[in-house]
Amino acid sequence: MDSKTKNAKTRAQIDAMARKGFNGVGLQAGAEAVRELKDGWFNAAYAVRLADGREVILKIAPAAQAEVMRYERNIMATEVATMRLVRQNAGIPVPEIYVYDDAHDVCDSNYFFMEKIEGQNLDHIYDALPADQKAAIDREMGAIIRRVNAFPGSFFGYDGNPELRADTWKAAFLKIMDSVFADAASQSVAFDYSDDALRAAVARHAGALDEVTAPCLVHWDAWRPNFFVENGHVRGIIDFERALWAEPLMEAQFRPLSWEGVTQAMHGYGKTEFTPNELRRSWLYLLHLALVMHVECYFRHYGSDEIFIQSRELIASAMAWLQAN
| pLDDT value at residue 259 | 58
Q: What is the mean pLDDT of residues 125-150?
A: 97
Contact (Cβ atoms closer than 8 angstroms) between residue 62 and residue 74: no
10 Å Cβ neighbour count for 190? 9
Collapsed DSSP state (helix, strand, coil) of residue 100:
strand
Is the same domain home to 236 and 170?
yes
The torsion angles phi and psi of 208, rounded to 5 degrees, stand at: -65, -20
Burial 31-42 (b: 16+ CB within 10 A, else e): eebbeeeeebeb
Q: Is 318 exposed, middle or buried (CB count within 10 Å of its CB: 0-12, 13-18, 19+)?
A: buried
| pLDDT value at residue 41 | 67
Q: Work out the percent of the chain whose per-residue pLDDT is above 90.
A: 87
CATH at residue 75: 3.30.200.20
Listed residues 60, 93, 115: the one ending a domain = 115
| pLDDT value at residue 211 | 98
Smallest Cα–Cα separation from 322: which of 286, 272, 294?
A: 286
CATH at residue 185: 3.90.1200.10
- Asked if residue 317 belongs to a domain, the reply is yes
Model confidence pLDDT, tens digit, residues 213-229: 999 999 999 999 999 99
Q: Mean pLDDT lowest for which of 30-34, 154-158, 249-253, 294-298?
A: 30-34
Our count of domains for the chain comes to: 2
Is the same domain home to 46 and 109?
yes
**Owning domain of residue 66:** 11-115
| pLDDT value at residue 260 | 66
- Asked if residue 6 belongs to a domain, the reply is no
- Asked if residue 169 belongs to a domain, the reply is yes
Quickly state the pLDDT bin for 4 (edges 50, 70, 90). low
Whether the predicted pLDDT of 200 surpasses 60: yes
Quickly state the pLDDT bin for 303 (edges 50, 70, 90). confident
